[in-house]
Amino acid sequence: MKFFSISNVLNAIAIAQLSFIALVNAEGNPKWPFVSEKDVQFNGKKREVGAVGRIVNGTEVDAGTYPWFTSIVDYNGDHHCGGMLIAPDIVLTAAHCMVQRDYFGEYYTVSDTTARIGALKYPYQPGNNGGQDVEEIEVAEVKIHPQYKDELPLDFDFAVLKLAEPSTIQYANIDDSDKQFSDNYVGGEKLWTIGLGDLSSDGPVPSELMHVEIDYITNEACVSYPYGYPDYLLNDNHICAADLYKDSCQGDSGGPLYDADKEAIVGVVSWGFGCADPMYPGVYARISTGFRWIREFACTLTEAEQLPDFCDITVSPTVSPAPTEYSTLTPTIATSSPTALNCGDDDVVMAEVIIINDYNPWETVWALSSNSFLATGSSYYYSDEWWKECIPINETYTFSIYDNGGDGLQSNGNGSYRIVVDGKLIKSGGSFTFAEHTVFDTNLPPFICKDSTQPFLVNKKERDCEWVGKEAETRCARGGDRVWTHCPKTCGKCDAGCRNSGARFKVNYLNKFRTCLWVGTKDTDMRCAMIGNDNGRSTCPKHCGGC
C-alpha cells in the first residue's frame, strides 16, 4: 500500500516540514515522519523505493470466505497486487498497481499479468488451494481511471482489468450509487482488509490469504489529533481505516476493504505513511466516488452473459444522506434573483450548495450573495438540502453559513456542507462555531482561440487541422461547421467566439470517435479527462472549461 517514487519522496519531505509534526526516536532526537525514503511507501510492487503491502497482525482466512479475492500475478508468477472479481471477466484493482515507470521516468501500463482468482493457500493450484476453487486467467486489457495521477493524494486510484475469458467463480458485490454504504459511515464501523502481502516490514511472505478487522475513521478525524495526516492529503475520494497495530501494507495494494455486515467491497487498498503506524491509518480509494467510471467500463468491457446488478443502476448525482433514518433529499427553501437564468447561457455557471444536516437542522441557515444575486436556505426538519441554480460569471460571491447553537453542523452527528461551482469544489466543511464565511469569484479566463489537436472524420477519413491548413480556404468552406469549429484558427473563425467542435473526433483513451454532445451528456469531467484536459479545452471548450 505504501509506495513512493523519488519525486514523491521529495514532495513528502516537504509536506512533513510544512506540517511540523515531529516524533522522538529512542535516542531522544526528533525524527520527521517522512524524512527517510524507506518510511514513505505505497502498497505496490517495488519501484525506486519502498515495497509492496502486507496484512499486519491478521489471521488466516477460511475457505469460502472471499472466493472472489484475486492475486494479480506478474510474468514471473509472483504475487504483484491484490484485486477482486466484480463481474465474470472483470477484476478491480488499484491504478498504481498497473502503472510503472521506465528507466527514463516515463509511465507505462503493466502488461503480461495474470489474475489468480480465488487464491487462498500456496501453491494456489486447482485441487491444492486450501479447499477453495482457484482459476488463473490472463489479463487481456487494462483501463486506468483517466483522473488518476501517480502522486499524492492518489485520487481515483482505480484500474479495471478485462480478463481473456470469464471466470466461473462467484464475483463480489461493491458499493455503488444506490447503496452508498461508505458515505453513510459515521466512524467506528468494522471493516476487513484482505491480502497476500508480507507479514511484517521486510518480513516473510504468507503461505495463505490473511485478513484483519479494522475500524472506519472519518476523514475529519483522520486529519485531526491523534492522527498525523495534513488535511490537504485527504478528500471525499478516500477512506481512512485502521486499528492499533493493524493495517494493510506492502503487497496488499489493489485489494479490498470489505464491509462484512453489508457484504460489499467499499474501498481499494491505496496508500499510507508507514504500516500499522498509530499516527497514520491506511488510506483506501472510496468505491462510491469512482463508481460511475467503474460501472461504465466494467459493464462495457465485459463479454459475459451474466452481468452484475450494478450494470442496471441509473447513475445520478451523488449526495450523502444525513446520519439519521429520517433523512430525505429535498430542495432547500431558497430565494434568488428575480431574473430567471438560462443554464445554457455563456455568462452563467452552475452552482450547488449541499447541506448534510446534523440532529438540529433548525439551527442552521445559509446565504450565497454577490452584487446582483442572492440565495438563502434553511431547513426545519431532518432533511438534507440540495440547492442548484445558475449564477452569473465574473462576480465575487460570499457564502455564509450560520448556526445559532454554536456547534456548526456537529450537533450529535457529523453534518457537513459543500459549495460546488461549475463542477469544482469551492469549499467543504461543517466544523465551526456560530458562523463560517467563504469568498470566491466566478471569473473565467479569457477565451484563447485554438485549433483542436484531435484527429477528426472528414468523409469517413481521419484528418487533422494540419491537413485542413494545406488547402484552408477550400477545405474550410467545403467542410462547413464540422471543419471550421474544429479548426477555427486555421479557418480564420476566431471572431466566432468560444464554440464546441461540430466534428466527430478521436478519443485516444477509447480509440473511438465521439462528439462534444457525447462529452456533455453525462460524466463530463471524466470524459474531458479521457480526451486529455488540454485537448478537451480546445475541442469541446464549453464542456471542458476552455471558454
Secondary structure (3-state) at 535: helix
Identified catalytic residue from 150, 157, 198, 464: 157
Query: Could you tell me which residues come within 8 angstroms of residue 9 by beta carbon, excluding any fewer than 6 positions away?
Result: 34, 37, 40, 49
Query: Could you tell me which residues come within 8 angstroms of residue 271 by beta carbon, excluding any fewer than 6 positions away?
Result: 1, 2, 3, 42, 43, 96, 152, 153, 154, 157, 283
Closest CA to 389 of 427, 424, 351: 351
Query: Could you tell me which residues come within 8 angstroms of residue 511 by beta carbon, excluding any fewer than 6 positions away?
Result: none
Secondary structure (3-state) at 67: coil
Identified catalytic residue from 5, 71, 80, 96: 96
Identified catalytic residue from 5, 71, 167, 253: 253
Q: Which amino acid is present at 337?
A: S
3-class SS letters over 311-356: HHCCCCCCCCCCCCCCCCEECCCCCCCCCCCCCCCCCEEEEEEEEE
Strand 396-403 to strand 364-369: parallel, antiparallel, or no bridges (unpaired)? antiparallel
Count CB atoms within 10 A of the CB of residue 93.
Answer: 29
Give dist(CA 546, CA 140) in Å, integer: 36
Buried-state track 66-86, b at ≥16 Cβ within 10 A, e below 16: bbbbbbbbeeeeebbbbbbbb
Residue 501 catalytic?
no
Give the cell for residue 98: 498497473
Residue 211 catalytic?
no
Give dist(CA 73, CA 93) in Å, integer: 12
Query: Could you tell me which residues come within 8 angstroms of residue 340 by beta carbon, excluding any fewer than 6 positions away?
Result: none
Q: Give the DSSP per-residue string, 224-280.
A: STT----GGG--TTEEEEEBTTBEEEET-TT-EEEETTTTEEEEEEEEEESSS-TTS
Q: Are 240 and 222 in contact (CB under 8 A)?
A: yes
Give dist(CA 285, CA 362) in Å, integer: 34
Residue 253 catalytic?
yes
Active-site residue set: 96, 157, 253
